[in-house]
Amino acid sequence: AVRRALAGRRIARAVEAGCGTGKNTPFYASLAEHLLSLDFSEAMLARARASVRDAHVEFRQHDLAEPWPVAPGSVDLVAFDLVLEHFDGLDGVLGEAARACRPGATLWISELHPMKQMQGSQARFATPDGREELVAAYVHHASDFVRAATAAGFALRTLDEWWHESEARDVVPRLLTLEFLRGG
């Protein structure tokens, strides 16, 4: 979804908020002259660093609920991919995204579709002893994202629902994506 929606853009400065293992980092690195990839987990960052070694990509361990290590109004893109479901509230983290963004910047949100979550889909991982552990997750509806982003100074540009290519369109979509532009 992110590749189809943002392909071909050129961006000076981008923040990948919650990069995880770096699955999307090579794509964002191909768009940006400078990419700051943030994640709470040092173990996730280690995996991301192993897959992307470009000099213009900076990895930093950081809790997105805290003020970001970014100058105000300095970023052209903030991207969240499967991250915001781990926040109980959206206002603080989207407020930080707004603080980081210059006027006209893009806020990209790609999340597990809320209906998929309500059917029981949730991020999980295997512990070293082989047990499956669920990662804390909260359901946010499209209106929650729109309300919080609008309150932070963004205007909705696009909202899309995405199905896996193997799924019929009569099943619940897999992803919800929203693209916003920063006012100013």
Task: Give Dmax over CA atoms of the chain in angstroms.
Answer: 51
Q: Give the pLDDT of residue 140.
A: 95
Query: Which run of H or E residues covers position 62?
Result: none
Q: Give the pLDDT of residue 104.
A: 97
pTM, 2 dp: 0.92
C-beta of residue 33 within 8 angstroms of C-beta of residue 56? yes
How many Cα atoms sit within 13 Å of 34 on the Cβ side? Answer: 8
C-beta of residue 139 within 8 angstroms of C-beta of residue 118? yes
What are the per-10-residue average pLDDT scores of the chain (184 residues)? 93 97 96 97 94 94 97 98 95 98 98 84 74 84 97 98 80 93 91
Q: Give the pLDDT of residue 178.
A: 98
C-beta of residue 135 within 8 angstroms of C-beta of residue 84? no
Q: Give the pLDDT of residue 122.
A: 65
Structure tokens at 122: 């949730």
Interatomic CA distance for residues 20 and 24, integer angstroms: 9
Q: Give the pLDDT of residue 124.
A: 63
Question: Between β-strands 124-126 and 101-112, what pairing exists: parallel, antiparallel or unpaired?
Answer: unpaired
Interatomic CA distance for residues 85 and 64, integer angstroms: 13
